[in-house]
Amino acid sequence: MRSQRTIKDRINFQGVGLHTGAYCKVTLHPAPVDTGIVFYRPCKKSSMSTNISTVVDTTYATTIGNDRMKVRTVEHLLAVLSATGITNLTIEVEGPEIPILDGSAIEITQLILGAGIKRQKKVMPYIKILQPVFLEDDQGKVAAYPYDGRKITFRLFFKNHFLGEQLMSFDLDRGSFLKEIAPARTFGFLKDVEYYRANGLAKGGSLDNAVIFSETSIVNNSGLRFKDECVRHKILDSIGDFSLVGLPIEGHIVADKSGHKMNVKFINKLLACSDCWEVVSDQVEKAPYPAFSYSYS
């Protein structure tokens, strides 16, 4: 059984937001047991717990919000917290978005590992997948299967493009998130850049924070960090999105061309299928998800 965790020291990072182009500052504060992952906006003295019901937009990034505050592009930060097992944290955000940094999660991962992780004296419940759950639409497919660990398999397929098919499996408990997933950057296609600009998206995007592909090559002079960097980044995004379940998932998530929108749709389907999973904890054998949210006591 895992214990709840927070960070040992306060840390901060700052930079431009990918979609808003706004300069944003983030401070991560250690938090006591049963706090959960809480976003805090100091100028409005407003805070918000993180769970699937707080997702308000999935257009090119995952945005969470309530009637008082909204934070865009939370998925990379949430992925690092999930991978490092941080369950209690207050995330102070000055600005509308989590900074994109270099487009990957490497800086945030290094900051958290540098600050140190503190194990807390309370058990962290988790969701154990008992029966397969499937979702399919014209965009892609997602499934969850019983599995002894926290594993994600992702398949990408770029039709008529040199990138072709990319497939990767990553086990969060056995693999190295720092080496295999955290360095993989956000990516996009040159043909879509004009559309992003016309629709007010990717205002902060540049070759310093995204890998851009033309029909025949990589636009960035620096090249790729991994041959299959795109699928590694999709695994990063999925780890972040799936953390919005509110509890770690023991199971194997298999995604085929999924994105933020489909991940969120799948999580809602999974949570609605209460026979397909159980919450494992030393205190409670099984309870409906909403009773847990981020208050475990």
Tell me, by CB under 5 A, how many residues bind Zn ion.
2
> Would you state the structure tokens that stand for residue 66, as one six-digit string?
């309530």
Residue whose tokens read 């039709």: 159
The structure tokens listed for 231 are 């699928």
DSSP E strands, 172-258? 187-189, 211-213, 249-256
Give whichever of 54 and 263 is closer to Zn ion, judged by the CB atom.
Answer: 263
Q: Contacts with Zn ion in 134-163 (CB under 5 A)? A: none
Looking at the Cβ atoms of 93 and 236, the one nearer to Zn ion is 236
Tell whether residue 97 is a contact of Zn ion (CB under 5 A).
no
Closest approach, Cβ 295 to Zn ion, in A, equals 29
Q: Which of residues 233-252 bind Zn ion (CB under 5 A)?
A: 237
Q: Please, which of residues 172-191 interact with Zn ion by CB under 5 A?
A: 186
The residue from 29, 76, 252, 260 that is catalytic is 260
Report the C-alpha gap between 225 and 222 in whole angstroms.
9
Least Å distance, CB 273 to Zn ion, is 27
Judge contact between 287 and 296, C-beta under 8 A: no
Q: Please tell me whether residue 229 binds Zn ion under the rule CB under 5 A.
A: no
Q: What is the rounded distance in angstroms from the CA atom of residue 296 to the CA atom of residue 30?
A: 18
- If the CB atoms of residues 185 and 252 are measured against Zn ion, the closer one turns out to be 185
Residue carrying the six token digits 């709840």? 4
Identity of the residue, 74 or 127, whose beta carbon is nearer to Zn ion in the bound complex: 74
- 43 to 68, 92, 94, 202, 282: CA distances (angstroms): 11, 10, 8, 25, 39
252 is catalytic: no
In the complex with Zn ion, the residue whose CB is nearer, 34 or 102, is: 102
CA-to-CA dists, residue 28 to 10, 14, 101, 186, 218, angstroms = 6, 11, 16, 22, 34
Distance, C-alpha 73 to centroid of its chain: 9
Q: Which residue's beta carbon is nearest to the bound Zn ion?
A: 237
Q: Work out how close the CB of 191 gets to Zn ion at its nearest, in angstroms, rounded to a whole number.
A: 19
Closest approach, Cβ 287 to Zn ion, in A, equals: 32
Kindly state the smallest distance separating residue 30's Cβ from Zn ion, in Å.
26
Catalytic residue positions, numbered: 260
Residues that bind Zn ion (CB under 5 A): 186, 237
